[in-house]
């Protein structure tokens, strides 16, 4: 009973401290750091129970601290990346369930059409991104190349891989440890827009950087 009260109390504390009120609507919502704390608490309690442990409350508390810590770590990184890329055409989002950050970089600001050399005007932005990735060095980074369905599929597959490689190599040259980076070309397999229109094809021609949250 005491364990259950401790776990419940911990969850309540996380909810209270993690809720924010929208000044316009008055509605409350839970921020991502609080979500991480709750998930960590639940995971800690579940693992303890499954293993026959008698310290469920303690393990829930440890899980909550770890979950909140990772959430905060990724939240700070997300905020910095948003600030650095504001107005560049890059979108920055964070998955509330995994805490992974995803950056989408359209072809128009990174590469000339059908080319895999990074455009010089993009260097400054990519330098800032590399600096942040080097600073927050507990993460791993997956660079993903994508192509539109226009043209030869084999060419597009290779182009997407070459572009992912180019960005990954640039990040490594700017101080991001190469053993943290993976480059993958997806070709035309993961469109985010309609390939039957030029506007859609432009959106599909992109490179994404996924910053994977640390696991502990």
DSSP for 158-202 reads HHHHHHHHHHHHHHHHTT--GGGEEEEE-TTSS-SS-TTSHHHHH
- CA–CA separation, 18 and 111 (whole Å): 41
- CA–CA separation, 44 and 63 (whole Å): 5
My answer on whether 72 and 101 are in the same domain is: no
My answer on whether 50 and 71 are in the same domain is: yes
Domain count across the chain: 2
Beta bridge partners of 209: 103, 143
CATH assignment at residue 150: 3.30.1330.60
My answer on whether 159 and 124 are in the same domain is: yes
Whether residue 83 lies inside any domain: the answer is: no
The chain-wide mean pLDDT, for the chain, equals 82
Whether residue 85 lies inside any domain: the answer is: no
Sign of CA dihedral 44, 45, 48, 51: negative
Question: In this model, does residue 150 exceed pLDDT 80?
Answer: yes
My answer on whether 135 and 198 are in the same domain is: yes
- pLDDT tens digits for range 107-144: 999 999 999 999 999 999 999 999 999 999 999 999 99
Domain boundary among 48, 77, 106: 77
My answer on whether 118 and 192 are in the same domain is: yes
* Structural domain of 134: 90-212
Whether residue 207 lies inside any domain: the answer is: yes
Q: What is the pLDDT of residue 50?
A: 47
- pLDDT tens digits for range 60-115: 455 545 556 999 999 999 999 999 999 999 999 999 999 999 999 999 999 999 99
8 A C-beta contact, residue 166 and residue 116: yes
């Amino acid at each position: 009973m005491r364990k259950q009260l401790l776990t419940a109390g911990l969850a309540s504390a996380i909810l209270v401290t993690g809720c924010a009120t929208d000044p316009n609507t008055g509605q409350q919502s839970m921020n991502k750091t609080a979500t991480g704390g709750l998930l960590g608490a639940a995971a800690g309690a579940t693992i303890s129970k499954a293993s026959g442990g008698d310290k469920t409350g303690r393990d829930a508390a440890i899980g909550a601290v770890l979950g909140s810590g990772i959430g905060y770590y990724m939240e700070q990184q997300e905020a910095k990346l948003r600030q650095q890329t504001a107005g560049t055409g890059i979108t920055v989002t964070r998955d509330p369930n995994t805490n992974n950050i995803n950056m989408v970089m359209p072809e128009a600001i990174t590469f000339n059409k059908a080319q895999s050399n990074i455009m010089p005007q993009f260097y400054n932005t990519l330098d800032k991104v590399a600096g942040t990735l080097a600073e927050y060095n507990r993460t791993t980074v997956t660079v993903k190349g994508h192509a539109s369905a226009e043209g030869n599929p084999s060419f597009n597959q290779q182009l997407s891989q070459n572009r992912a490689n180019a960005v990954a190599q640039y990040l490594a040259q700017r101080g991001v440890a190469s053993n943290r980076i993976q480059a993958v070309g997806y070709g035309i397999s993961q469109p985010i827009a309609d390939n039957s229109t030029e506007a859609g094809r432009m959106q599909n021609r992109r490179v994404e950087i996924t910053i994977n949250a640390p696991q502990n």
